[in-house]
Each structure stands twice: as structure tokens, then as C-alpha cells.
Chain A
């Protein structure tokens, strides 16, 4: 698969702080997505981005599709304890038959 580099690997923050994580690739993607996984569950889609430069929000979450189509970032504002989980970026293009390529995840811990 096409490799996605996700950073940071983990974050340990206090409630109320803002969070920023990003994902880069050497390949161009047509779609960037962000998923969240909580312990013992499957990943859940947070945000999907379909156009270079697109900036999309979902509540306190904001994600952007990089202009070069090789990167994306996710911001979480005013974090709360229920934001705890692993956040995965994923990219998709037709080169791999539309199979999703996932990053290795950013583990987020939030202390009250």
C-alpha cells in the first residue's frame, strides 16, 4: 500500500487544550478521511474531504485537504475527556483500486 505518515504518534493533553495532528504521503490522494477509534470498538468516520484545499468542520473538529493533495490535518478545539481515542487518517485514490490507505494513528489522552 501507499504509505501515510501520521504525527504525532501520541498526545497527552489537558482538558480544554486544542489539538493538532497531521498526515503526509508521497502519493497524491483524491480523498482524505479522518476516523476515530475508541477502545474495543471499530473506527468511526469523523470527516471526509474530497477537494484539494477543502476545509471542513464537524463540531469542534476541523480538517483540511492539503493543496498538494499529499497531506491533511485535523484540529480539535477545546478538548474534552471523551475525545480520548486513536485518530486515523486515510487516503484514497484510483491507483490502488480505491482501497483506503490508513496511517498508523495518533493516540490522544485527555486529562480532566
Chain B
């Protein structure tokens, strides 16, 4: 298994509170991604990173920010959580941008009340 750890794995929070999800990898892969998974929508890209301090927006980036200060860590922040951000969040890593071969973490289930 690729060394990817997501934390927390489960979180319940209230609308308006800030939330940070962490993804940690031990594979030294250059590229890291945050996806959200919702019934009827499949997996949608939120943000991705192509190096330390280098990030870009994905399809559903509104309401989310990311940071990558070290190769191994990629943080996803919801500045002010809303109920529409209730979802399962997956981190993924890859060592190439154009092969599509991603290794996914186990997911973080976030519930916003």
C-alpha cells in the first residue's frame, strides 16, 4: 500500500467553524490531490499540488483552500464550513501528472451540522 495517511478520519462540526484535513505521504511523490466524493457525483477534484508551495484549483474549489509547506504534507482547509461541504474527502498522490495513476488515502468523512 502507498504510504498515505489522512487525519482525522471522521469529524463532525458545526456550520461556520473552520476545519482542516491533513494528508501525509511517505512516498516522496511530487503530486498531491484532494477529491470529494458525494452520492450521484462520483469523485471531484478540489485542489491539487505539483510541488512545495505550488497548488492549483480543481473543479470544485470554491470554499476550500490548500497549503503544502513540505513535500509530505498537503492540508485542505474549509475556512467556514457549510452543510454542502458534508462529504467524504480523499487525498491522492502520484509521481507523474500525465499518467492518471493515483494512489488514494482511506478518506476523511466530514459532517457539517
The interface of chain A, by Cβ under 8 A from chain B, is: 1, 30-31, 33, 40-45, 48, 50, 88, 90, 92, 94, 97-100, 102-105
Among candidates A1, A90, A97, A104, residue contacting B100 with C-beta atoms closer than 8 Å:
A90
Interface size on B, residues (CB 8 A): 23
Complex contacts, B44 vs chain A, CB 8 Å: 1, 102
Q: Does B79 contact A (CB under 8 A)?
A: no
Q: Does B113 contact A (CB under 8 A)?
A: no
Question: Do A105 and B42 touch across chains, with their CB atoms under 8 A apart?
Answer: yes
Complex contacts, A44 vs chain B, CB 8 Å: 104
Question: Do B104 and A92 touch across chains, with their CB atoms under 8 A apart?
Answer: no
Q: Tell which of A33, A48, A100 has the most Cβ of chain B within 10 Å.
A: A100
Q: Complex: how many Å from CA A99 to CA B56?
A: 11
- Kindly identify, within residues 81 to 113 of chain B, every residue whose CB is under 8 Å from any CB belonging to chain A: 90, 92, 97-107
Question: Do A41 and B106 touch across chains, with their CB atoms under 8 A apart?
Answer: yes
Question: Do A100 and B102 touch across chains, with their CB atoms under 8 A apart?
Answer: yes
Once A43-B104, A102-B42 are accepted as A-B contacts, the answer to whether A31 and B59 lie under 8 Å apart by CB is no
Among candidates B48, B100, B105, residue contacting A31 with C-beta atoms closer than 8 Å:
B100
The A/B interface has a contact count, at CB < 8 Å, of: 57
Among candidates A48, A50, A88, A92, residue contacting B43 with C-beta atoms closer than 8 Å:
A88
Q: Does B41 contact A (CB under 8 A)?
A: yes
Once A1-B45, A42-B106, A43-B43 are accepted as A-B contacts, the answer to whether A99 and B59 lie under 8 Å apart by CB is yes
Complex contacts, A50 vs chain B, CB 8 Å: 99
User: Nearest Cβ in chain B — how far from A71, in angstroms?
Assistant: 16
Once A102-B43, A104-B42 are accepted as A-B contacts, the answer to whether A92 and B106 lie under 8 Å apart by CB is no
Closest to A89 in B: B42
Question: Do B98 and A98 touch across chains, with their CB atoms under 8 A apart?
Answer: yes
Q: Complex: how many Å from CA A87 to CA B102?
A: 15
User: Nearest Cβ in chain B — how far from A39, in angstroms?
Assistant: 11
Complex contacts, A104 vs chain B, CB 8 Å: 40-42
Q: Complex: how many Å from CA A51 to CA B90?
A: 28
